[in-house]
Structure 1
Amino acid sequence: MRVGNLAELRNSCSGDLFIIASGPSAGGFPLQRYSHLPMIAVNGSIRLFTDAGVTPYFYLCDDSSFVRNRLSLLMEAVESAQHLALSPRVIKNLIERVPNALDGRSIFRFQRVNRLAGEQAAFSDRRFAWRARRDRDLECQFSLFQQKPNRIGFSRNLEKGYFSNRTVPYAGVQLAYHLGFTRVFMVGLDLSSSAGRFYEQGKDAVPSRLDSDYEDYILPCFRLMSERVTGSKFQVFNLSSGSRLPETIVPKIDFNELDQLLACS
């Protein structure tokens, strides 16, 4: 098994990309209609792809608990995605359960910022955030008095890692930027624990931390992205009309507006 470095693919792409998240609104997305464009699947949203018979350009998973709780879904991604971007813990836990699972697959290590080999931090959050202020590839908040702001950021270069923000679609946006895409359309970005995920219901649903992480990590990271990253050269749109994320941060569009944007590209 060879695990590649995402530096190999930096700025190798261009144009439009869809990121398919797992919010309930993703269940109504006509995937096949837009399957001629590259797409990133994250965590359980791979189910939408397998049901539609569509191959995602990338599958992204950074949550080791997903290996324990949703192994069958992860294996669907391993078998169908063109490329896999997996965190070190996901790779380790998957191989422990299915030793040959990744043989012959295109795998890339998906590592958080400020990490040595494995998951050990290279610097304290404050020291890393201070250093990141001088790095053009990274956008990061900084505080001497609070720890949480030092974890808010955006990476333009995934050779240096990505900022988690506690929700994997945000990591997908950083991957999109790294690969060179200039316009990103988010699907299923509902960001509500109570709304759940489109592929699970009732007692089979795995608890979500979206509500507890929203104010401290998710919203501040998307706000930072809106203020420091997106603009005329890199745009992000939200196709979830009921998304918790304000449209002043990520503009919301419907399918008619999506088709108009795609027709003009």
Structure 2
Amino acid sequence: MLGNGRVADTQSFECLRGKYSGAVFIVASGPSVNEFPLQRYAQYPMMAMNGSICRFADAGVKPLFYICDDSSFVRNRLPLLQQGLALAQNLAFSPRVITALLAQAPNALNGRSLYGFERANRPVDGRAPMGDRQFAWAARKDADFECEFSLFRQKPNRIGFSRNIGKGYFSSRTIPYTGIQLACHLGFQQVFVVGMDLDSSKGRFYEQGEDAVPSRLDGDYADYILPCFELMAKRVVSPAFQVYNLSLGSRLPSSVVPKLHMDQLDDLLAAR
């Protein structure tokens, strides 16, 4: 992958498929993160994403993965991304992020455990992507994908879930959903999502006042976010793969992703 004339060596996610098991915590950026005692659960694998890495830095916890697929985050929040570079055991970056990062800090990825990943139907080998409808039709025959399909409307063809990150992921327009797909790929059976409030009015826990970057959550919720989570709940979640939301005030209904109190979380972890 190229950035400012330089090459970043990336590893393949294929070698990590099914490598892990048990529980994993995915820490997003909603303000409910401030209510979660990160250090109390530090013995479990965790994933940080975008600005949530500052919570890990404050707690002195090293996440298993730091995820970023938004090049604008690199431009707007480079110091936060650099915290992820310094703290995380592994990095999962999209080509856009790698290019934007190397343009600003050419040596930033030297010696790092870097995994490149891309959205579904965005080939990294130079091939042109299929049309959305064509890809969605093909994905219906691939056991690694769950995907909606419509001949008449474009948006349903972008609703899906990937069990194999090596083949790409569905963005859902919110990064916790990407983290859940990565957790599935890695083999985790229980996924606990922290800070998935999904409410633009609440902002991000690490931003204040004029420093806040505008969010598109409200505009994307009905068209992409909710439909993707509903698809996941119907076609992916099973006794072997469970997803829970630790944000009790989350916009996402508990009928789609169950919400847990902390005592319920402890009971589930103790039962394993």
TM-score (norm 2): 0.96
In structure 1, how many angstroms separate the alpha carbons of the residues matched to 2:60 and 2:128?
A: 40
AA aligned to 2:242 is: Q
1:254 to 246, 252, 261: 261
Name the residue aligned to 1:206: 213
Give structure 1 regions of 4+ aligned residues with deviation exceeding 6 angstroms.
none
Matches within 5 A, 1:87-236: 87-117=94-124, 121-236=128-243
Q: 1:29 offset after TM fit, Å?
A: 0.9
AA aligned to 1:155 is: S
Secondary structure of the equivalent of 1:3? Answer: coil
Q: 1:198 offset after TM fit, Å?
A: 0.4
2:250 to 236, 243, 248: 243
Q: 1:230 offset after TM fit, Å?
A: 0.2
Secondary structure of the equivalent of 2:201? Answer: coil
Backbone CA RMSD of aligned residues: 1.0
- CA offset digits 1:150-182 (Å, max 9, x no partner): 000000011110001000000000000000000
In structure 2, how many angstroms separate the alpha carbons of the residues matched to 1:120 and 1:147?
A: 22
TM-score (norm 1): 0.98
Tell whether 2:35 aligns with 1:28: yes
Q: 1:115 offset after TM fit, Å?
A: 1.1
Secondary structure of the equivalent of 1:194? Answer: helix
In structure 1, how many angstroms separate the alpha carbons of the residues matched to 2:226 and 2:125?
A: 27
Q: 1:55 offset after TM fit, Å?
A: 0.2
Gaps of 5+ in 1: none
Name the residue aligned to 2:22: 15
In structure 1, how many angstroms separate the alpha carbons of the residues matched to 2:130 and 2:70?
A: 22
Q: 1:121 offset after TM fit, Å?
A: 4.9
Would you say how many aligned residue pairs link Structure 1 and Structure 2? 265
AA aligned to 1:86 is: F
Q: 1:120 offset after TM fit, Å?
A: 7.2
In structure 2, how many angstroms separate the alpha carbons of the residues matched to 1:238 and 1:193?
A: 17
In structure 1, how many angstroms separate the alpha carbons of the residues matched to 2:25 and 2:18?
A: 17
Secondary structure of the equivalent of 1:17? Answer: strand
Name the residue aligned to 2:4: none
Identity %: 62
In structure 2, how many angstroms separate the alpha carbons of the residues matched to 1:193 and 1:118?
A: 36
In structure 2, how many angstroms separate the alpha carbons of the residues matched to 1:120 and 1:234?
A: 33
Gaps of 5+ in 2: 1-7
In structure 1, how many angstroms separate the alpha carbons of the residues matched to 2:15 and 2:59?
A: 30
AA aligned to 2:159 is: I
1:42 to 43, 49, 58: 49
Q: 1:27 offset after TM fit, Å?
A: 1.4
Q: Measured at CA, do residues 248 and 151 of structure 1 come closer, stay the same or move farther in structure 2, by a change above 3 Å?
A: same
Secondary structure of the equivalent of 1:73? Answer: helix
Contact conserved, 1:42 with 1:61, CA < 8 A, in 2?
Answer: yes
Contact conserved, 1:11 with 1:178, CA < 8 A, in 2?
Answer: yes
In structure 2, how many angstroms separate the alpha carbons of the residues matched to 1:121 and 1:251?
A: 39
